[in-house]
Structure 1
Amino acid sequence: MADRTPERLVRLLGMVAFLDRTDGATVEELAAQFGVSARQVLDDVDLLWMTGTPGYFPDDLIDFDAASLESGVVRLTQSRGMGRALRLGTREAVVLVAALRALGESVGAALDAGERQVLASTLEVLSDATGEAASTVDVQLALEADPEVVGRARAAVRAGRRVHLRYVDAADRTSERDVDPWQLVTGDERSYLQAWCHSAGGERLFRLDRVLALEVLDAPVTHPPDRATTPTTFAAEAGHERVTVELSGRARWVAEQLPVEETVDLPDGGFRVTLPVSSRAWLRRLLLRLADDVRSVAPPAAATDAAAAAARALARYGEPAPGQG
């Protein structure tokens, strides 16, 4: 699966810092260090070679020893300061304080003890460093959901209790099910309850704004998350349909925010992505949202389905209102 931008950015910065402390490392050593393929390491080096500080002239760019790279060794010759500890200004520190408080508010209860300690200690250091500026920051993370549902979900996560949901899915079907809640997660401008669904027999993400009712049960959670293997976002499966969409450059966020499996950049600034799709309803909404930027879709049936939905919606605008004949 293709990297998302935040994941690759962390790896790129880590790679520069790692190489800055050594006299070089083989491509295979870097691949093992960062858990990626040798091909990905070379792609990362190519990207870093074109990265640097404002000005972006040759002397402003991160540089490597080309002769060493030809022999399979990555040797950093100019880090442009990327290997040094980050120095934050007051405004930047306050922004991080706000982000960490939001993180603690949204998912803190679902973190393990070690993760909570790291979060708390980092927040304490930043708050002390910014002094009175940090005390003026008041973060309230807004979730598009019934506050009572959100409160009960958080309480269930903290207590490790099973919950009973009344839920409306993407196809507007209402169902009732028992789930073992794991954590609240936020992504693509929505918030979700990540849980083990006893009806489906597997992990599911439930959009909180689609939960009509949530009851905390007396039964304990019997399917806890496996933190070593369980992702916090959608995970593609072999049985999911693969859809290829060609888009204009304005829709670049699709490649960065959605779980795409392949991204191909096109000469005119557009790009082509392959998406694993578990729900045709989700794909239909995505294509309608991207309508002005969609160039082609394969298989064609996916485009036909979205076009039919758009036609039905447009037809409704021409229907007379009730009582007007």
Structure 2
Amino acid sequence: MRERTSDRVARLLAMIAYLATRDDVPLADLAEHFGVSQAQARKDVETLWMTGNPGYLHGDLIDFQYDRWEEGRVSLLDSQGMERPVRLGHGEAVALVVALRAIAELPGLAGPALTSALEKLTAAAGDAAVTASVVTAGRPAAADAPQVAAHLATVREALAAARRLDLVYVNASDVVTERTVEPLALLSDGDQWYLRAFCLRAGDVRHFRLDRVVSATLTDVPSERRPEPVDADTVRPRGREEVVLTLSPRARWVAERFGGTITGESDGAITVSLEVADPAWLDALALDLGPDLRALTPPVHARRVATAARRALAAYELIDDDTDREGTI
């Protein structure tokens, strides 16, 4: 079986730590310790010999003692600090915590290893972890990944069997309702999963965010409406509110990715019309766009995004102040 890149990288890093505590190791012993052939161990050392810090000049690379290498022995001269634990600045810690939290929100990706890493990093980051919570304000609340994964399985079963679902649902106003729905499609905007379904209570099509579903129960009652085909290029719920974004030309991908309509275009800007089902999703998109977003209407959305942006900027000012006092955690 072909070795995975992640497995080899892990072994290479472990080799550096192993060799850093020993003056001289026969190549055969190195291969035996890491459970690989001598030919593979030789390739690993040769790879490390060409690895180092940006610049990649002689003084930037991991180095071994050449005469011992010719004798079939491995002696590490310069590890470039690769055997030492990584120390993060506050800004780096915030970026890593935010990234891990975003991954943890995705259905099916959260697991013991990710949870443990996030807990340890959050504890080590201290105040930076609090800042990370502010930076992510305006994005959808973290989903209970195992619960969402269970709902995904139930919805997919309902779509495949063309049967109704009984839902207990909490809307954006924290009102709990019970619904019987006929599933039409399973959609995602990249941040959240949505069930597009005909709601018997409303007598119309509605979109239900799966992280707001308390329970989903498959019934024995067949659906009268058939599941809809989903266009993979526009996997998003069709909302009832239209918003208009004025973007820099390089942000044209917004219209292409989310099924928007370009309603105006000039040399300096484009105007994109989007249907939005969830204001929190719009906030996250606007913050991600940064300077590429020139204007947003209706104004109520622009004011909300501006408030979230000011909170994020204030948090980064706190990071700068902390970095002045100490550089690493």
Question: Which TM class, normalised by the smaller chain length?
Answer: 0.3 to 0.5
| TM-score where L is the length of structure 1 | 0.42
Structure 1 or 2, whichever has the larger Rg, is 2
